[in-house]
Amino acid sequence: MKICIVGGCGHVGIPLGLALASRDFTVTLLDINENVVNEINNHKLPFIEKDADVLLQKHIGKNLFATTDKSVVESQDVVVFVTGTPVDEHHNPKISDVLKVIRAYLPLMNKNQLVILRSTIFPGTTEVIDNILKKQFGTSKLAFCPERIVQGEGIKEIYDLPQLISATSDIARKEATEIFSKIASKTIDLEPQEAELAKLMTNTWRYLEFAIANQFYMMTEGAGFDFYKILNAMKDDYPRAKYFAKAGLAAGPCLFKDTMQLSAFYRNQFFLGQSAMLVNEGLPNFLVKQMENKLGSLKGKKVALLGMTFKPDNDDIRESLSFKVKKELEFKMSEVLVSDPYLKGTMSACEAIKKADAVILGVPHSEYKTLKINKPFVDCWDVW
């Protein structure tokens, strides 16, 4: 079976493509980014993904291919779209972006192909795309099978986690189940809108978990108490607090966006989600205020900002709140010394710390955990 993943050279497409190739499907990663396509064809991953390199070396050029040639869609049995739904400047879902991609490939598709939607989409989008396919071909084989992997751990999780399967017809559900049964630990049947909501609710729940931790952090630290002393006491041999999250910059391409989509679905009456956004997006300002309390005026002070990616031990900077910390420091007229071992063009941590008057931990990369900071610092992650 030949499977093409449209937009396949990104964080969603590559783990799926590698997993499918490992189960002897013939997989084509189709992408408009020529540089990334060339990297993959040269046996190089464009980003960090644990255990992905081994699979890439084994399958590229054999039953895994990368290309910018859209015409490959014509010869496929399955076409997977990994285009997610972004939100606009008013936090409303931009469904038109997804539909635009689907319509762009319609002339290359045929009625016999199974079409799979993979990334997060706004509830009801599957039905809209189903109508587009039926209008074009007189019939439709459409499934929505959302990814639920953690970036950086995608190869392990794509095999270990259950796969949600939804479809607009019995034949599409059957074929999608047959495919994902080859790679997932089990499959779970849902209706399309149920699967769309399940994906949004999963990411929103995680965003809310961070928000309550961040709210408590700002509440206690702002009152002069040690948040982590209190948190550790709460969790000590107390099972109902076992999974309470730490404070930290809750960022990345999914959590905030998906929370806003769920809010839009509920006619902007999702007050928990809106409050979580205010808390999480407000933490960078609070961290800068903490530093201001330690140093007095930040004007002219050199502040080392360690970690600019959106999560530890990763090279992805999308929607990273460390950049918001940097802007707030610059607004206070500080000189920001940026360091990140995964970001080219930044200082080493040792150099930044040596030159700085103070330090803020933006992301708790493993490289930072053994550092001894002998200057004023702010660390909401409890690393130092």
- Give the pLDDT confidence of 52-111 residue by residue, as tens digits: 999 999 999 999 999 999 999 999 999 999 998 889 988 899 999 999 999 999 999 999
Under DSSP, is residue 48 helix (H, G, I), strand (E, B) or coil? coil
The widest CA-to-CA distance across the chain, in whole angstroms, is 70
Is the predicted pLDDT of residue 379 greater than 90, yes or no? yes
Q: Judge whether 84 and 95 are in contact, CB under 8 Å.
A: no
Task: Tell me if the pTM is above 0.75.
Answer: yes
Q: Which residues on neighbouring strands pair with residue 78, listed in sequence order?
A: 3, 114
Q: Judge whether 284 and 216 are in contact, CB under 8 Å.
A: no
Which residues have C-beta within 8 Å of that of residue 286, sequence separation ≥ 6?
218, 221, 222
Under DSSP, is residue 77 helix (H, G, I), strand (E, B) or coil? coil
pLDDT digits (tens, 9 = 90+) for 210-246: 999 999 999 999 999 999 999 999 999 999 999 999 9
Helix (H) or strand (E) holding 351: helix 349-355
Question: 278 is written with which tokens?
Answer: 């205010």
Structural domain boundaries of the chain? 2-190, 198-378
Please indicate whether the domains covering 2-190 and 198-378 agree at the CATH topology level. yes
Please give the CATH topology (third level) of the domain spanning 198-378.
Answer: Rossmann fold (3.40.50)
Question: 250 is written with which tokens?
Answer: 């809750």
Cα gap 13→116, rounded to integer Å? 12
Which residues have C-beta within 8 Å of that of residue 332, sequence separation ≥ 6?
288, 292, 297, 298, 299
Average pLDDT, integer, range 114-125: 96
Average pLDDT for the chain: 97
For the beta carbon of residue 178, count every other beta carbon within 10 angstroms.
12
Under DSSP, is residue 80 helix (H, G, I), strand (E, B) or coil? strand
Backbone angles phi, psi at 57, to 5 degrees: -60, -35
- The whole-number pLDDT of residue 90 equals 85
Is the predicted pLDDT of residue 263 greater than 90, yes or no? yes
CATH number attached to the domain at 2-190 = 3.40.50.720
Cα gap 126→66, rounded to integer Å? 27
Which residues have C-beta within 8 Å of that of residue 338, sequence separation ≥ 6?
305, 308, 326, 346, 347, 352
pLDDT digits (tens, 9 = 90+) for 126-167: 999 999 999 999 999 999 999 999 989 999 999 999 999 999
Q: In the structure, what pLDDT confidence band is assigned to residue 36 with cuts at 50, 70 and 90?
A: very high
